[in-house]
Amino acid sequence: MIDLIILFLLGIVLFNIFNVFCLRKKLLIDGLIKSEHKSYVNKIDVPITGGILIIFTIIFLLKDISIVNKFFFIIIFSLGLLSDINKISSPKVRLFFQSFIVIIYIYFNDTYISTLRIDYIDQYLLNQFIFKIIFSTFCILILINGSNFIDGVNTLNSGYYFIVFLNILFISNHHEIEAEIYNLKILVTILLIFILHNFFNKSFLGDGGSYLISFYAAIFFIHFSNQNNLVSPYYIAVMLWYPAFENFFSLTRRLFFEKKKIKNADNLHLHHLLYIFIRKKIIDNKIANTLTGLSINFYNLIIIIIANNFLYETIPLLLILTLSLTFYITLYFLLKRNIN
C-alpha cells in the first residue's frame, strides 16, 4: 500500500511537470486539432498526454508482459497518436491497421473468446479457427472504437475503465478468481492520476490513450474469462457494454436510419446529448462537461455493483444487460427530442 501511495504522489508531480512542459512548448496540444467533434465541449488548449502516461506504465511498471506484446501496445498507441496529430485522418485506414494489429496479436498469443454459453456457438463456431479469429477481432475492435467514441467529455473514458478495473480488484477479494492483481493495482493508481488531471482539464487521453486502454482491457478480460470458467461471459459483457454499444448503436443509427457518411464524426452520441441537456441547466461549461462523465459513470457503477451479485449466473446478467441497453436507447431518444 505504501508503494502505491509513493507511486501516486510521485506520478502526480511528474505528470503535472510533463503537462506544463507540453503546454509551454505547444506539444501534443488538443487545441491544435480543429475538428468540431473534438472541440465540442472544450475550447482551450489541453495536452493529449494521457496515452503517454499509460504506455509508460505498461512498458515500465506492469509485470509479465513480454517485449513482443509491449511492442503491440506501442503500435496501437502510436496509431491513435497519429490520428491525434492528424497524420492518419481516414477512419478506414485506422480500422485497417487496428484490425491487422489485433489479428496478429490474438493469433500469436492464442487470445480468443472461448465461450458464450450457447451450446451451438460454442461447439460448432467458436471451435472453428477462422470464426474465433473473426469474432474475437470484432469484439476487440468494437470496444476500441467505442471507447474512442466516448472520449468526448472529462472523466468518462478513463473513469469508466478505472471503475471496471477497480471492481475486479474488489471481487478478487470476495471470490476465488484469478486476476493480475499487481498490474491492476498499478493501473488503477495511474488512471486515478490521469483522472485528477482530466477532471481539471489539464490532460486528455486522445485517440492514442483511448486505443491503448481499451485494447489492454479487451485482452485482460479475454484472459480473465478464459482463466475463470465459472464466471459467466455475460458478466464481462456487463463490464464493457457501454463503450461497445456506443459504437454499435452509433454506426447502426448513422448507416441505416440517418443515412450519414460514417467517415465524418457527428455530435449525436449519448454523452454529447446528455452534455447539452446538463449545459442548459448549468451555465459553467466545465462543470457541465465533467458532470456528464460522472453521471454516466455513476450509472455504470450501479449496474456493475448489481452484476457482482450474479457473477456466475447467465440469466440475471442477460437481464441486467438487456435493461441497460433499453435504458440507453430510451434515454438517447428522449435527450435527442430535447434538442430538436
Share of the chain above pLDDT 90, in %: 70
Residue 222 CB: number of other CB atoms within 10 A? 21
Residue 60 CB: number of other CB atoms within 10 A? 8
Residue 59: its pLDDT value, please? Answer: 96
- pLDDT at residue 36 tops 50: no
121 DSSP 8-state letter: I
Return the closest-CA partner of residue 226 out of 151, 81, 115: 115
Tell me the three state secondary structure of residue 255.
Answer: helix
> What average pLDDT does range 259-277 have in this prediction?
76
Report pTM: 0.93
> What average pLDDT does range 132-146 have in this prediction?
96
- pLDDT at residue 35 tops 60: no
CB 335 within 8 Å of CB 277: yes
- pLDDT at residue 298 tops 90: yes
Confidence of residue 262 (pLDDT cuts 50, 70, 90): low
> What average pLDDT does range 13-32 have in this prediction?
87
* pLDDT tens digit sequence for 140-175: 999 999 999 898 889 999 999 999 999 999 999 888
Full domain range(s) for residue 134:
2-339
Query: Helix 156-172 and helix 129-149: axis angle, to 10°?
Result: 120
Share of the chain above pLDDT 70, in %: 92
Residue 283: its pLDDT value, please? Answer: 67
Tell me the three state secondary structure of residue 44.
Answer: coil
* pLDDT tens digit sequence for 173-203: 888 888 889 999 999 999 999 999 999 989 9
Helices and strands in the chain: count of H runs, count of E runs? 13, 0
- pLDDT at residue 39 tops 60: no
User: How many domains in the chain?
Assistant: 1
Residue 158 identity (one-letter amino acid): S
* pLDDT tens digit sequence for 54-69: 999 999 999 999 999 9
Q: How far is C-alpha 285 from the geometric centre of its chain's CA atoms?
A: 24
Within 34-179, where are the H helices? 50-60, 67-84, 91-109, 119-120, 129-149, 156-172
C-alpha cell at 165: 478495473
- pLDDT at residue 37 tops 50: no
Tell me the three state secondary structure of residue 216.
Answer: helix
